[in-house]
Amino acid sequence: MLGDDTTTENRLRLLQAEFTQYQRRGPEPTGRTATRAEAPAPIDLGILDYMAAAAAEVEQHTRAADWSRPAGPVPEDISRVYEWAREHTAHLDPERQQAREALIYRQGLEHAIAMGDTAVVSKHPCPECGCWGLIWREEAGKAACVNHYCVDSQGLSHAWTLKRLAREHVAAKSAVTSRAT
């Protein structure tokens, strides 16, 4: 969907636009306007590496999914790598398509966090207690539960990797879909 910034594709496009352009073209879509004092954003090489690594992970996952059907080259525009991955794995069994969706969804969370939007994790229930309002812990690279009673055997808050949250999210979504059919 155009203008939807919650898909992994669009988040990657936003990252590209935000961090890899020398010149800003007019006001930002968010309503922020560049002031004269604001220097053009330099290309952030870290972000370029980050995006290349994300695309490479999707490519490897897609190629490994079915060696009998070589997938051909990945699109030059790396935000289209997800579309490419779906195209080339659409014939696989539901489980493997779910694994692909979990990977894509996880990358979407990573892209949002890379842009500073750590609140994306709060939109997922805690896999242990079902509470909402997980908090991103940068140093641990995990989303911690805010429920004081939701702790492990050492009394520490349960904390989840993005991979786990993505797996839970995609599994829950597919359960809804299969109930509906």
The site for Zn ion (CB under 5 A) is made up of 126, 128-129, 131, 145, 147, 150, 158
Q: What's CA 46's distance to the chain center, in Å? A: 17
Q: Please give the Cα distance from 94 to 76 (Å, whole number).
A: 28
- What crossing angle do the helices spanning 8-19 and 45-65 adopt, rounded to 10°? 150
Q: How far is the CB of 133 from Zn ion (least distance, A)?
A: 9
Token pair 């009673």: residue: 149
Count CB neighbours of 96 within 10 A.
14
Instruction: Please say which residue, 100 or 124, places its beta carbon nearer to Zn ion.
Output: 124
Q: How far is the CB of 166 from Zn ion (least distance, A)?
A: 17
Structure tokens, 82:
């997800």
Total number of residues shown for the chain? 181
Q: How far is the CB of 150 from Zn ion (least distance, A)?
A: 3
Instruction: Please say which residue, 68 or 153, places its beta carbon nearer to Zn ion.
Output: 153
Q: How far is the CB of 147 from Zn ion (least distance, A)?
A: 5
Q: Please give the Cα distance from 101 to 98 (Å, whole number).
A: 5
Instruction: Please say which residue, 24 or 123, places its beta carbon nearer to Zn ion.
Output: 123
Instruction: Please say which residue, 118 or 147, places its beta carbon nearer to Zn ion.
Output: 147
